[in-house]
Structure 1
Amino acid sequence: MARALAPVIARQQWRLLARDRRLGVLAIALLLVLCTAALAGAALHQARERERAAAQVEEAQVWAMQGPANPHGAAHFGRYLFKPVSPLAVVDPGLLPQLGTSLKLEAHANNPARNRAIDGGTALDRFGGLSPATMLQVLAPLLIILSGFAAFSGEQARGLLRQEMAAGASPVTLMAGRLAGLGLIVLLVLAVASAAGAASLWMAGGSAAELGPLLWMIAGYALYLFAFTGLTLAASAAFASARTSLVLLLAFWAMATLFVPRLAPTIAEAAAPTQSGPAFEAAVTKEVMEGPSGHDPRDARLERLRQDTMRRYGVAKLEDLPIDFNGVALFHGEALSTAIYRRHFAALYDGYDRQAQIQRALALVSPFQAIRPWSAAIAQSDQHAHRRFLEQADGFRYDLVQRLNRAIIHRPKEGEGPYMADVAAITRDAKFVATPAPIREALSRHWIDLAILTGWAALSLLLAFGAARRLGRASA
């Protein structure tokens, strides 16, 4: 009997929600904004990718048109890379507005990425937060709360709840039916989000390979929204006043989606501080000049390199070397500075990872802290994806500079004046291709976020049915 009533209650709950014009307007507005954000993001992604590709082609032409140049001078002249963006970032731009989009590659330096979108100041950039992910993370839970806060408390105040239970429907059955009815709103939102995401991927030039990650992303949002569904009905069943349940649910929504996400970075930085830009550069420069222990200055290292090189070639003077020692010094200096930069950058990003773990701990009070890193990681718009690009770019930079240094090492001995060479010919085979991380890497790194979301969904179910049982005892 109870199982037969649950679908009836679900259909009744859905009809009540559908008849509420205010909720209908809110739901339609949310879905329209979600679709608009997805399609507008895809169009913007297309435009930016065209600009990036054109800028990269122009940069390659500038490098190729240098003509005869000193290889080390060309290494300092440098090259520029422009960061490609995953099509999935249309759905969730993640940290992209706060991360740089261009990178200068030059000798003796591992430069940070520049030209962040947030620094642009254009009218369009001010709407950068309007993405499908924002709709699902912030506004969709609000729609769920407004749809279900009176599901039990409102009927209890009107005396309808007692009539339903007198007709043979147990509180647990009523809760199951209302969960199913309110869950239809979640399914509708997720279905529209999936369709809009697939359409935006197609517009952004994505392939069928991105559909799998999109489904993983939607799975996380399903758990996230279902957690809000269970919590909403639990509050509605726990309090006799619809106004009380609404106020408490709105307070939780504001805390979970607005306050905690803004306090979390400050808490993480205070608990695990990282170096500022000037302090980072000063530490690298100090180690380059003095060695890791502070007792191995650069002049002493250079002198040892001179002696080792002359011993290897069996000569007593640098002038008798069959190679150019300046190139050898540049080659070894580049290897040393690159190793130092990479070690310091690894320590810096490890610090960022510790901060991310601290922020993840706040997911115990806010499911937002679990869905945001999950979504951004799947979209390849998080800190790890940015780090992967920087590391690949630095590998390309190191190979490029060392090719030029080898040209100096093996330069012709005849001729006067500075050595000039065709640097474009020397580096003709040096091509940079950024390779994104496979989806399994993001899944293995962020499975804990999905587990936390699953825990929130399970907890909301326990609270909902627990409140229903207490409601039944109170009405007995």
Structure 2
Amino acid sequence: MILFDIARKETKEILREKRVWLLTSILLLLAIVSVAISLNYHHQLTAEYQEAESKARQQWENQSLKNPHSAAHGGTFIFKPTSALSFIDTGLDSYLGTSVFLEAHKQNDAEYKQIADQNDLGRFAQLTPSFILIYLFPLFIILIGFGVFTQEKERNTLRLILSQGTTFIDLALGKSFALWFVVLLFFIPLFLIGGILIFSFDTNTDILFRYFILGLNLILYYGIFIYATVMISAVSTSGNVSLVILMGFWISSALIIPKMISVVAQSIYPPPSALEYQAKLKEDLEKGIDGHNPFSASAQLFQDSVLKANNVDSIQKLPFNYSGLIMQAGEEHETIVYENAMQRLTDLYEEQLGLYQKTSFVSPTILMHLLSMRLCQTDLYANRDFTKQAENYRIDLVRQLNYDLKDNSAYGDWKYIPKDSTFFEKTVSFTYKPVLLQQNNQIWVLPMLLLLFWSLISATAMIWTSSKIKVER
């Protein structure tokens, strides 16, 4: 078949060039270094997580017996486990943090932001496998393919080939097949090695499914650059012109457009300052019950309702410790306030992210970057899910402590301590349960469809452009 004959010839010519092998060697070396660095970082982070999680729980369980509410104020830490895929793309984990300090009356943000200890250069130049696959691999495609047509023009062999009955469309498709072969020759072994490494970390089917979907999206992504490279080379008068146009496309897609959209998103949906956020939080907290201030108007109304419900005229006559009950009532009010505040902030960031995604039709790199983080569980959604589960656990833990105070002590007895020496060992423990990909299709299906659209449009544009090119024979 003529297409495969063209593809075979083009593949041989591409692989014959020293420039291609030099670029391949450089990219392979960078890939090996990035995997080694990322694996070392992943193992270190996993070990730190396991040690920190174990120590935090031991410290909580082995603390000296004390008033349960005092223990709630003392607090404890919980940690987000590292995803097996995070060695590919660390995403926002370095910015958003991986640990949360839990305490009574307050919802804290995730901490341990490694990025805070780095300078601007360190933040940009994180050599991860995702950086190689998303940013450098398309550059590799451009550098090996920008001359697939211009070389024929410069050698004056294009007319000769077309005079033998070959159509320009056949040539374009054959050359794109050749680029596909070279790309897959490099990509498939790397992908299989990555799969083996991930399987050694975690045999969870959800992780493997995420990795498979990531591979499919990368193939769609590379198709965009392959078809664009062939098309631009076909319409360019020289290799230099082709290279300049393609480099402009890569720079715009990978660097300029994402930065511009990020700036626009922050200007349209500006986040509140820390002072504004805290002022609004304080205002909302003061509108409800404060468990440590039984004399406020809200607390007095609550006290009256409790006395009426129990048919007594003083809190000393209640069949339980009123302090524990009002502490929990205050906790529930504070929980609602913090949840509303965090939801407003989350909605704002999602508006920014939504604008980022909506405008991604002008940059396939944005789409691929978003998909990579989401599939590797290092994006905003994964962080939000972790903090939400952490807050639910904090609510359950503080409720358990307050109810012990309420049910097992007398009003005013702040020296009360549980009689059970294993009391803290029996409190609820935290286990993070990541959302399965199949349960969260909305975060990846639409970006994948947009990426497929990009790939189909670029292939169609290549074929249509090839059909319009006329070469005198």
**TM-score, normalised by the number of residues in structure 1:** 0.93
User: Whole-Å Cα distance in 1 between the matches of residues 262 and 229 of structure 2?
Assistant: 28
Structure 1 pair 413/431, CA: closer, same or farther in 2 (3 Å)? same
Contact 2:86 2:376 in 1 (8 A): yes
Contact 1:42 1:203 in 2 (8 A): no
User: Whole-Å Cα distance in 2 between the matches of residues 73 and 350 of structure 1?
Assistant: 34
User: Whole-Å Cα distance in 1 between the matches of residues 236 and 468 of structure 2?
Assistant: 11
The residue correspondences of 1:271-420 to structure 2 (distance < 5 A) are 271-291=268-288, 299-413=296-410, 418-420=415-417
Contact 2:211 2:375 in 1 (8 A): yes
Which residue does the alignment assign to 1:193?
190
The residue correspondences of 1:462-473 to structure 2 (distance < 5 A) are 462-471=460-469, 473=470
Q: Which amino acid aligns with 2:462?
A: A
Which residue does the alignment assign to 1:70?
67
Which residue does the alignment assign to 1:458?
456
**2:286 counterpart SS class:** helix
Q: What 5-or-longer segments of structure 1 have no aligned partner?
A: none
Contact 2:93 2:378 in 1 (8 A): yes
Q: Which amino acid aligns with 1:114?
A: E
Range 37-46 or range 404-413, more displaced:
37-46
Q: Tell me by how many angstroms 1:470 deviates.
A: 2.4
Say whether 1:255 aligns with 2:249.
no
Q: Which amino acid aligns with 1:425?
A: F
Which residue does the alignment assign to 2:113?
116
CA deviation digits over 1:350-369, x for unaligned, max 9?
Answer: 22111111111222211011
User: Whole-Å Cα distance in 1 between the matches of residues 112 and 232 of structure 2?
Assistant: 46
Contact 1:39 1:196 in 2 (8 A): no
User: Whole-Å Cα distance in 2 between the matches of residues 60 and 128 of structure 1?
Assistant: 36
Contact 1:153 1:237 in 2 (8 A): yes
User: Whole-Å Cα distance in 1 between the matches of residues 410 and 140 of structure 2?
Assistant: 76
User: Whole-Å Cα distance in 1 between the matches of residues 168 and 107 of structure 2?
Assistant: 64
Q: Tell me by how many angstroms 1:33 deviates.
A: 2.0
Q: Which amino acid aligns with 2:248?
A: A
User: Whole-Å Cα distance in 2 between the matches of residues 56 and 254 of structure 1?
Assistant: 42
Which residue does the alignment assign to 1:210?
207
CA deviation digits over 1:190-218, x for unaligned, max 9?
Answer: 30331232133134345454222111001
Which residue does the alignment assign to 1:270?
267
Q: Tell me by how many angstroms 1:39 deviates.
A: 3.9
Structure 1 pair 323/456, CA: closer, same or farther in 2 (3 Å)? same
Identity of aligned residues (%): 27
Range 385-394 or range 178-187, more displaced:
178-187
> Structure 2 residue aligned with 1:241, among 235, 238, 256?
238
> Structure 1 residue aligned with 2:102, among 101, 105, 124?
105
Q: Which amino acid aligns with 1:374?
A: L
Q: Which amino acid aligns with 2:251?
A: A
**1:68 counterpart SS class:** coil
Q: Which amino acid aligns with 1:102?
A: S
Aligned residue pairs: how many?
A: 468
Structure 1 pair 155/128, CA: closer, same or farther in 2 (3 Å)? closer
Structure 1 pair 33/207, CA: closer, same or farther in 2 (3 Å)? farther
Which residue does the alignment assign to 2:438?
440
Which residue does the alignment assign to 2:54?
57
> Structure 1 residue aligned with 2:30, among 33, 38, 41?
33
User: Whole-Å Cα distance in 1 between the matches of residues 132 and 330 of structure 2?
Assistant: 50
Which residue does the alignment assign to 2:222?
225
Contact 1:288 1:298 in 2 (8 A): no
Q: Tell me by how many angstroms 1:29 deviates.
A: 2.1
**1:107 counterpart SS class:** coil
User: Whole-Å Cα distance in 1 between the matches of residues 193 and 270 of structure 2?
Assistant: 39
**1:110 counterpart SS class:** coil
Contact 2:179 2:226 in 1 (8 A): yes
Range 274-283 or range 249-258, more displaced:
274-283
Structure 1 pair 462/429, CA: closer, same or farther in 2 (3 Å)? same
Contact 1:81 1:103 in 2 (8 A): yes
CA deviation digits over 1:150-175, x for unaligned, max 9?
Answer: 11122112211111001121101101
Range 354-363 or range 222-231, more displaced:
354-363
Q: Tell me by how many angstroms 1:474 deviates.
A: 4.0
Contact 1:42 1:204 in 2 (8 A): no
Structure 1 pair 127/257, CA: closer, same or farther in 2 (3 Å)? closer
User: Whole-Å Cα distance in 1 between the matches of residues 378 and 362 of structure 2?
Assistant: 24
Q: What 5-or-longer segments of structure 2 have no aligned partner?
A: none
Q: Which amino acid aligns with 1:183?
A: W
Contact 1:186 1:226 in 2 (8 A): no
CA deviation digits over 1:217-253, x for unaligned, max 9?
Answer: 0111111111000001110111122111110110110
Say whether 1:431 aligns with 2:429.
yes
Contact 2:375 2:444 in 1 (8 A): no
User: Whole-Å Cα distance in 2 between the matches of residues 160 and 44 of structure 1?
Assistant: 51
**1:7 counterpart SS class:** helix
**TM-score, normalised by the number of residues in structure 2:** 0.93
Q: Tell me by how many angstroms 1:298 deviates.
A: 8.6
Say whether 1:132 aligns with 2:129.
yes
Structure 1 pair 123/343, CA: closer, same or farther in 2 (3 Å)? closer
Q: Tell me by how many angstroms 1:423 deviates.
A: 8.4
User: Whole-Å Cα distance in 1 between the matches of residues 451 and 421 of structure 2?
Assistant: 54
Contact 2:320 2:411 in 1 (8 A): no
Q: Tell me by how many angstroms 1:275 deviates.
A: 2.5
**1:109 counterpart SS class:** coil
Contact 1:330 1:405 in 2 (8 A): yes
Which residue does the alignment assign to 1:92?
89
User: Whole-Å Cα distance in 1 between the matches of residues 265 and 445 of structure 2?
Assistant: 21
User: Whole-Å Cα distance in 1 between the matches of residues 104 and 210 of structure 2?
Assistant: 38
User: Whole-Å Cα distance in 1 between the matches of residues 29 and 226 of structure 2?
Assistant: 21
The CA RMSD over aligned residues, in Å, is: 2.3
CA deviation digits over 1:373-424, x for unaligned, max 9?
Answer: 1111111111000100000011110111111111121233399662223685
CA deviation digits over 1:253-296, x for unaligned, max 9?
Answer: 0111111222222211112223233322321221010259xxxx
Which residue does the alignment assign to 2:12?
15
Q: Which amino acid aligns with 2:162?
A: M
